[in-house]
Structure 1
Amino acid sequence: MKIAVIGGTGLIGSQVVKNLKAAGHEAVPHSKSTGVDIIGGQGLDEAVAGADAVVNLTNSPTFDEASLAFFQTSMDNLLAAAQKGGVGHFVILSIVGADQVPELDYYRAKVLQEKILAAGPIPYSIVRATQFMDFMDAVLSWTADADTVRLPATPIQPIASRDVADAVAEVAAGAPLNGIRNIAGPEVFPLDELGRITLSHKGDSRTVVTDPTAGMFAVVKGDVLTDKNARLAPTHYADWLS
């Protein structure tokens, strides 16, 4: 299969391209650095022409309200180019529980992206993943100072980026789901406890303070960022840290 991977030079995209090539597919990475602009539209027709499938792994540059306009414009442009190019399968990566946290602008934007795809003209697949293990340092930095890190006890089920890439590549090479596949890591942690585990592993002496108002995940109620029915990935957090 010929598969165009938009955002194919990023954290997930580069691994998806590698996996697809290893499986014998013609996987072509596209990004701004290769001359493809999903907002302005430059290079899109050429990028997807003749592809059996398109995988869109691009992301908004911000997590605020502007992310809605990013996903609206980028999806409109990509779907138009894909339809023109005769693409038979369109894949995106989204977030487990995104539709249950309307308080977060970015999550509302990802739901908008899903709805645009589902209502579009091309058979599709949506892969929803839980929070990436790879982003834990960023989560800690949002509410940290010299001595403490403040985190809520929100349950999360972290997944390694390589496991996400494996799942996306598998879906991209298969028949369209015309629906959603949820994937998650094998363990659930309260976010504050995951912070303590992470800092301890790094030899970081800062104290994690449990604060239900701290950071982006403070607005998340219950266990909407976990999914006991998801396909469980193999990588445990302790193994990933090591």
Structure 2
Amino acid sequence: MKFAVIGGTGLIGSQVVRDLNAAGHEAVPHSLSTGVDVLTGQGVDAALAGADVVVNLTNSPTFDDASAAFFRTSMDHLLTAAQRAGVGHFVILSIVGTDQVPELDYYRAKTLQEDILKAGPVPYSIVRATQFMEFVDAVMSWTTDGDTVRLPRTPIQPIAAADVAATVAEVAAGSPLDGTLEVGGPDTYPLDELGRITLAFKGDERSVTVDDTAGMFAAAHGDVLTTKKGARIAPTHYTDWLK
């Protein structure tokens, strides 16, 4: 099968392209750097021509209220082009719990993206993943004050980007789910504990203090950012990934 991977040069997209090609498919990466602009529509029709499946892994450049406009415009362009091209399967990557944290602009925007896809003209699959292991350092940087990292006790189920990409590739190569598959890592930690584990492994002398108002994940209450029954559990443990 032929796959058009939009956002195919990024962290997840490049690995999805690799995995699909390794499985014997033809996966072509598309992005701004290859002349495809999902906001203006430039290059979108050409990118989707002849594709059996579209995998949309583009992301908003901001996490604020402008992110909704990004997903609305990009999805409109991609779905219109997909229908014209006769694409039979449209896949997006979303976030576990995205519809459970309305306080966050970005999560509302990702929910909007899901809703647009569900209402669209192309059979679809949505893969919802938990937080990437690769982003833990960035999360800590948001709330670092000097030698102290302030983190809430929000339960986090970190997953390796490679495991996310493998799941997306597998779903894309299968029949449309016309639904959602959740995937998460094998272990769940309070975010403050995850921070301590990370700092200790790296020999970082910063300390972690619990602050349930700190950072974007403070808006997530209970276990909404962890997978529910029936989810796919990825194999990579965070402590192994750190090593």
In the other structure, the counterpart of 2:235 is 234
Kindly state the Cα deviation for residue 173 of structure 1 after the two structures are TM-superposed.
0.4
Tell me the alpha carbon deviations over residues 44-66 of structure 1, each in whole angstroms, 9 at most, x when there is no partner.
Answer: 00000110000000000000000
Aligned to 1:84: 84
The AA in structure 2 aligned to 1:200 is: A
Point out where structure 2 has 5 or more consecutive residues left out of the alignment. none
Task: Look up the match of 1:222.
Answer: 222
SS of the aligned residue for 1:225 comes to coil
How far off is 1:146 after superposition?
A: 2.1
TM-score relative to the length of structure 2: 0.99
Which amino acid in 2 is paired with 1:14?
S
1:8-37 Cα deviation digits (max 9, x unpaired): 000000000000000000000000000000
Q: How many Å separate the matches in 1 of 2:228 and 2:105?
A: 25
- Determine the structure 2 residue equivalent to 1:109: 109
- Distance across 2 between alignment mates of 1:228 and 1:181: 10
* Partner-residue secondary structure (3-state), 1:110: helix
Residue 53 in structure 1 maps to residue 53 in structure 2: yes
Partner Cα distance (1:39, 1:101) in 2:
26
Q: Give the paired residue count.
A: 242
1:169 and 2:162 aligned: no
What amino acid is aligned across from residue 173 of structure 1 in structure 2? Answer: A
Identify the residue that residue 205 of structure 1 maps to in structure 2: 205
Question: Distance in 1 between the 2:242 and 2:162 partners?
Answer: 13
Distance in 2 (alpha carbons) for counterparts of 1:60 and 1:19: 24
Map of 1:1-242 to 2, 5 A cutoff? 1-229=1-229, 230-242=231-243
Displacement of 1:145 in angstroms is: 2.3
Shift of 1:228: 3.9
Quote the Cα distance in structure 2 between the aligned partners of 1:146 and 1:202: 17
Instruction: Give the CA deviation at 1:203.
Output: 0.3
TM-score (norm 1): 0.99
Task: Return the letter of the residue paired with 2:233.
Answer: L
Query: What per-residue deviation string (whole Å, max 9, x for no partner) do you get for residues 188-224 of structure 1?
Result: 0000000000000110011100000100011111000
SS at match of 2:224: coil
Encode CA deviations 1:156-208: one digit per residue, 9 max, x unaligned.
10000000000000000000000000000000000000000000011001110
